[in-house]
Structure 1
């Protein structure tokens, strides 16, 4: 039996924490789909196509991982559509635990055949969030050790353009 998993997120931007979860998931499953969505509650730095391209650059060493766009509908429906029976979620801290527990419970009600597997963030990534990365980078801080190189370059370029437009 081929085991497929879906790792959904907004990935705005992709961090080394996300990449660590993708790498670890790739060792646990035959195929992992990274589903890129847009969180309308947040101000996005990158559009969905830019996020997909940056993730593809970061995972080019993984032949069992692909990146797909998730534009609408429930995540469990997307999982079913791509043949995944597992959702991968990352857990950084106690605050994430409550949120992820509730999401997993709701997903189980929506589709009892889909399991949620939570991977604890590696120690060196537990403090990372996309929001924190954007904030530090906006004010000129060094994020080069916290995101893949192509993401670091893209963020610096994006903020240079945005600052010029002001």
Structure 2
């Protein structure tokens, strides 16, 4: 095993949940450098802007020190991974329902970048049911999300809900 493997953990992170944070933590136990790659999200309508999602991801990544960096990307993930010298792509799996999509995605990525391995990590049991979609919906409907996101992300969600007049 080499000690200089760069892993890329891509996603829209709209917002970053405790499940995402747990996958980052697990990835740092396997790889010396993890890049959290925040997708511009051209195919999804995001609640938060790209700049806001990057800022939240950086706040969440701060305790991990220099081994975790946060960058944005648009276009093909393949180009981003190859340009950064990535040798592993981290994907989080919460449940069986994620597996089919992620398995297909891993196959496509292997075709596009055969030198990069996809590594599936599962979050802790207490985070396996959390999704950014659920967190956004709960927050927009006035529910409590403190069990699902970091305090910093919770503050940003509350501010976003207020700004949209959805309190």
Question: After TM superposition, is the score higher than 0.5?
Answer: yes
Tell me whether 34-43 or 58-67 shows the greater mean CA deviation. Answer: 34-43
Counterpart residue number, 1:68: 71
1:121 is paired with a residue of what secondary structure? Answer: coil
In 1, Cα distance between equivalents of 2:40 and 2:146: 24
1:77 CA drift (Å): 2.0
1:157 CA drift (Å): 0.4
Unaligned runs of 5+ in 1: none
Of 16, 40, 43, the match for 1:41: 43
TM superposition score normalised by structure 2: 0.94
Counterpart residue number, 1:91: 93
RMSD: 1.1
Residues 76 and 114 in structure 1, CA contact (< 8 A), matched pair in contact too: no
Within-5 A mapping of 1:22-37? 22-37=24-39
Within-5 A mapping of 1:1-166? 1=2, 2-63=4-65, 64-72=67-75, 74-163=76-165
In 1, Cα distance between equivalents of 2:113 and 2:142: 44
- The alignment covers a number of residue pairs equal to 163
Question: Runs of 4+ in structure 1 displaced over 3 angstroms?
Answer: none
Unaligned runs of 5+ in 2: none
TM superposition score normalised by structure 1: 0.94
1:145 CA drift (Å): 1.5
Residues 12 and 40 in structure 2, CA contact (< 8 A), matched pair in contact too: yes
In 1, Cα distance between equivalents of 2:126 and 2:119: 21
1:163 is paired with a residue of what secondary structure? Answer: coil
